[in-house]
């Protein structure tokens, strides 16, 4: 008897990107009409520590050595189906133009409503308005500081 094959993975539909207001207490609002969230594109910077002492006694192949240093939070990017007369969309643009730091979070659509949180600023705003399409903006948040992965 063959066992059924169940799909693995998690649907991304329903993932939310939320941006904090600057009030106390801080509250988050969901950014409407976005798609294709990518990131955080986190990476670890590394330093080559290969030295003359890494040559094996008696000769032989020399392998390089590395140590991890700081973690870069990277970026979060997404597409916004923009309404140029919408106050919230204009708020996003003002955060970009004013180079404002803000807290953000991504809320996953899983049973735990897992959250990724960090701070950052918009470092990319690319508006497109194709003849046979809709106005949209490709936006990128540069992460600054610690990224909290799934600590809800």
Percent of the chain's residues with pLDDT above 70: 97
| Structural domain includes residue 54 | no
- Asked whether the CA dihedral 19, 96, 136, 143 is positive or negative, the reply is negative
pLDDT-based confidence at residue 152 (cuts at 50, 70, 90): low
Which residues form the domain of 102? Answer: 16-44+66-149
The tens digit of pLDDT for each residue in 43-85 reads 999 999 998 887 777 777 888 999 999 999 999 999 999 999 9
User: Residue 137 falls within a domain, yes or no?
Assistant: yes
Instruction: Quote the pLDDT of residue 61.
Output: 83
Give the whole-angstrom CA distance, residue 39 versus residue 44.
15
Task: Say if 8 falls within a structural domain.
Answer: no
Residue 133, in any domain of the structure:
yes
112 located within any domain: yes
pLDDT in tens, 109-138: 988 889 999 999 999 999 999 999 999 999
Nearest CA among 18, 16, 30, 36 for reference residue 119: 18
| 1 has pLDDT over 80 | no
Residue 83 within a domain = yes
Q: How confident is the model at residue 19 (pLDDT cuts 50, 70, 90)?
A: very high
Which sign does the torsion angle of CA 26, 76, 95, 137 carry? negative
| pTM for the predicted model, two decimal places | 0.86
Establish how many alpha carbons lie within 13 A of residue 149's alpha carbon, considering only the half-sphere containing its beta carbon.
5
| Number of independent structural domains in the chain | 1
């Amino acid at each position: 008897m063959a066992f059924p094959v169940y799909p693995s993975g998690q649907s991304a539909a329903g993932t939310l990107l939320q941006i904090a207001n600057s009030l106390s207490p801080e509250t988050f609002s969901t950014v409407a009409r976005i798609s294709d969230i990518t990131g955080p594109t986190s990476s670890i910077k590394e330093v080559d520590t290969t030295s003359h002492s890494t040559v094996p006694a008696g000769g032989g192949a020399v392998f390089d050595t590395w140590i991890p240093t700081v973690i870069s939070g990277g970026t979060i990017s997404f597409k916004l189906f923009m309404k140029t007369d919408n106050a919230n969309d204009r708020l996003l643009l003002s955060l970009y133009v004013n180079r404002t730091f803000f807290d953000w979070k991504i809320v996953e659509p899983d049973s735990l409503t897992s959250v990724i949180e960090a701070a950052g600023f918009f470092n990319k705003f690319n508006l497109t308005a194709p003849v046979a399409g809709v106005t949209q903006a490709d936006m990128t948040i540069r992460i600054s500081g610690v990224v909290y992965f799934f600590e809800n």
